[in-house]
Amino acid sequence: MMMQRTQLLLPLAMEATMLAQQQRGMATLKMISIRLKSVKNIQKITQSMKMVSAAKYARAERDLKAARPYGIGAQQFFEKTEIQPDEKAEPKKLLIAVTSDRGLCGAVHTGVARLIRGELAQDEANTKVFCVGDKSRAILSRLYGKNILMVANEVGRLPPTFLDASKIANEVLQTGYDYTEGKIVYNRFKSVVSYQCSTLPIFSGSTVEKSEKLAVYDSLDSDVVKSYLEFSLASLIFYTMKEGACSEQSSRMTAMDNASKNAGEMIDKLTLTFNRTRQAVITRELIEIISGAAALT
């Protein structure tokens, strides 16, 4: 009686096992197919972003060539006048972080934030940060939120203009923070595949007026110095924003190109896995059919 019951239940158990294996194989194929489709869609997005970044990079490089005289002229003024911070005054430093609001561009914004974090670690109490772009604010606010003086948003969506730089320079001067010296921290463009995090010095009006080389000019009053400092600060910010925009677009183009290549490699691996899994399912089904036919005969 027990043998007869076992003989009756054995085919049912084998059928249930084969059905479970078949369903498992089909479920695996479906999961691989969904993932493959998702990666292909991501590859299309990264390829499109690479093409857009390439077009924006070409324009940013042309704009940078036109903006370089602004930065070089302002730099030469500070270099030739040999301005030094007043050692008797209370040491107050201002750091202007030039980034943007957009990501997916490698470590462009992280490098600027890392350099500023190093400056803040040395003298946190007497240092304030003016963030140009929301990315620098997001990174620095985690540890040094109280040191952020102001944030300029809506940067990076459109090419920066001198009007944008003038507004930022005006906000810097209107903050009321009486700094003795400062730096503009930005990414200096070197080539399509490289950039360097650099700094440019800036000084307050009172510090410039005490320069020995400017003291020989009797016609220079405080209003003239103030007007020129406003223009030079706007020029430096404009120049650094152009350098940062060019570095950002080239880095985003490289990042999207690498992402597209990685997606292509993943598509090849998933396609191979899909074909092998499908072949295994087909082979198993054929074995089941042949085994069933042999059992009937």
Question: For residue range 206-223, what is the model confidence (pLDDT) as tens digits?
Answer: 777 777 777 666 666 777
Number of domains within the chain? 1
Read off the tokens for 195.
């950039």
Residue 186: inside a domain: yes
Mean confidence (pLDDT) of the chain: 86
Minimum mean pLDDT among 20-24, 37-41, 122-126: which range?
Answer: 20-24
Per-residue pLDDT for 45 more than 70?
yes
Residue 116 lies in domain: 53-252
Residue 260: inside a domain: no
Residue 6: inside a domain: no
CA 24 → CA 231, 263, 281, distances in Å?
70, 27, 9
Mean pLDDT of 26-54: 90
Residue 271: inside a domain: no
Residue 288: inside a domain: no
Residue 171: inside a domain: yes
DSSP state of 214: T
Condensed to tens digits (0 to 9), the pLDDT of residues 226-240 reads 888 899 999 999 999
Buried-state track 55-65, b at ≥16 Cβ within 10 A, e below 16: ebbeebbebbe
Give the three-class secondary structure for 150.
strand
Residue 20: inside a domain: no
Q: What percentage of residues in the chain have a pLDDT greater than 70?
A: 88
Per-residue pLDDT for 8 more than 50?
no
Q: What percentage of residues in the chain have a pLDDT greater than 90?
A: 56
The predicted pLDDT at position 297 comes to 66
- Tell me the pLDDT band of 1, cut-offs 50, 70 and 90: very low
Read off the tokens for 181.
């010296």
CATH of the domain at 203: 3.40.1380.10
Residue 13: inside a domain: no
The predicted pLDDT at position 23 comes to 54
Please count the other Cβ atoms lying within 10 Å of the Cβ belonging to residue 217.
10
Per-residue pLDDT for 43 more than 60?
yes
d(CA 261, CA 267): 10
- pTM attached to this predicted model: 0.82
Give the three-class secondary structure for 20.
helix
Per-residue pLDDT for 199 more than 90?
yes
